Amino acid sequence: MVDLIGPGAAPSLKLPFNGRLMTGTALLLALSISSCSTVAPSQGYRSAGSTAAPWQISGELFDFTNVKISINGSREIDGRVSLLSGEGALHSIYGGKQVMASCSTSSGLMTAATKCIVFVENERAATLSF
């Protein structure tokens, strides 16, 4: 038992203390908030009428909110979605073209899934799922 008020105080409030329970809880909390990342596989994109090699668009989600999107291996978008809603619109320019990622997060019973739809010059280019 742990004396929460101190000796000599009246009345003394005592609660059970279980060291193993506290250690296990602390470990679980540390693991759940530690850095983690999820990688979305690369997808090819070629604008309508283009004969050039397709752009390879890939992405990574860090710590549930930090989105990094690369085009042909070059990080072009590095931003955050809302921690509360999981949504966000991220913008960049690549090869002289406007690039925008519209991200949203859906929550399930045990997990959350984030999806970013990438647009190039308002044309849907890729859907990255994390």
Digit-by-digit pLDDT tens for the chain (130 residues) are: 444 455 555 554 454 555 554 444 444 444 444 457 899 999 999 988 889 999 999 999 998 889 999 999 999 999 999 988 889 999 999 999 999 999 999 887 667 789 999 999 999 999 999 8
Residues 120 and 61 in one domain: yes
Domain of 95, CATH number, reads 2.40.128.180
Residues 81 and 114 in one domain: yes
* Neighbour-count burial for 8-17, b at 16+ CB within 10 Å, e otherwise: eeeeeeeeee
Overall domain count for the chain: 2
Residues 112 and 61 in one domain: yes
- Predicted pLDDT at 16: 52
Q: How many angstroms separate the CA atoms of 21 and 19, rounded?
A: 5
- Predicted pLDDT at 21: 46
Q: Cβ contacts of residue 101 below 8 Å, gap of 6+?
A: 59, 67, 69, 77, 89, 90, 91, 116, 117, 118, 119, 128
Residues 120 and 94 in one domain: yes
The rounded Cα 9 to chain-centroid distance in angstroms is: 49
Determine the structural domain holding residue 27 and report its residue range. 2-31
Residues 68 and 118 in one domain: yes
- Predicted pLDDT at 49: 87
Residues 80 and 119 in one domain: yes
Total residues belonging to the chain: 130
